[in-house]
Amino acid sequence: METLALKLVLTPALIGISTMVGRRWGQAVGGWLVGLPFTSGPVVLFLALEQGTAFAADAAQGALRGLVAETMFAVCYAWAAQDCAWPLAFLAGSLGFAATGFAMQWLAPAPVLLVAIVVGALALALRLLPRFTGIASAVRPRAWDLPARMAAATLLVLALTSAAAWLGPQLSGLISTFPLLAGVLTVFGHHSLGKGAAVNVLRGLLLGLFSFAAFFVALGLTIGRFGIAAGFAAALAAALAVQTVSLLAARRTLRRP
């Protein structure tokens, strides 16, 4: 009962906070902010509470594999958006995520190699994104937008944690990284403001994903040895430290739509 209450309160609260911050400071900052594991972090926390620390440590490895797939989502969406409307661009990004996620699951690289692949994939994806195409005017969000984002993220957390025993730790961690919130931000920006806004969100996302990587690397190294509380504290500290550094880079490379 306690973990269910956490799922129903923590997840929508995190999604709501990130969305409001993005609305205050722009699409690019919103994309950067959702690099933090607002969805996958709670998923792995609930897996640790329900399945144990060993399961959660394996799920952290799956999340790192999924991060590589997430970079492919960003690249595929951004390039498809140059010529296509958001439904086709989202489909292209989703197919890129699925294909890369399958490949990473099949390859199952060792932890050290996996970290190197993650860093290389993020750096390469940032170089491969199209150049920023302009500044779009602000648009008033629809009334249903925020509740829909919060509900969708909560449903994903509930579905993944309920199916964890069947999916296994690695696949649970990987699927939890599908860019649900980033996808919503990107689609909304693309539909309302144009492809430049979509690319801006995705560039911010990729910069923010360095902190995502730090979170799960630290979690995988600590949760089995020191327990849930200490493991998540170390992971959050690592993510915030890297997020601060990435903010400095974001200030130089991101322009507000």
Q: Is the pLDDT of residue 7 over 90?
A: no
Q: How distant, in Å, are the alpha carbons of 4, 26, 95, 124, 219 from that of 108?
A: 31, 37, 20, 20, 18
Say what percent of the chain tops pLDDT 70. 71
Average pLDDT over every residue of 215-230: 91
163 contacts: CB under 8 Å, gap ≥ 6:
172
Q: Bigger pLDDT: 244 or 124?
A: 124
> Do residues 12 and 226 touch, judged by C-beta distance below 8 A?
no
pLDDT at position 116 is 94
Nearest-10 Cα torsion for 19, 25, 30, 35: -110
Q: Ramachandran region of residue 108, left (φ > 0), alpha (ψ -120 to 50) or beta?
A: left
Sequence-distant (6+) residues with CB within 8 A of 195 are 81, 82, 133
pLDDT in tens, 148-167: 767 776 776 677 667 766 77
* pLDDT of 242 above 70: yes
CA atoms within 13 A on the CB side of 158: 14
Q: How confident is the model at residue 189 (pLDDT cuts 50, 70, 90)?
A: confident
Mean pLDDT of 228-248: 86
| Residue (of 98, 77, 97) closest to 186 by Cα position | 77
pLDDT for 256 equals: 45
Mean pLDDT score, 97-106: 90
| Mean pLDDT (the chain, rounded) | 79
Q: What is the mean pLDDT of residues 21-47?
A: 68
Smallest CA-to-CA distance from 40 within 118, 153, 123 is with: 153
Give dist(CA 172, CA 62) in Å, integer.
7
Give the pLDDT band of residue 143 (cuts 50, 70, 90): low
In percent, the amount of the chain with pLDDT more than 90 equals 26
Considering the entire predicted model, what is its pTM?
0.77
Selection from 208, 188, 179 nearest residue 257 by Cα:
188
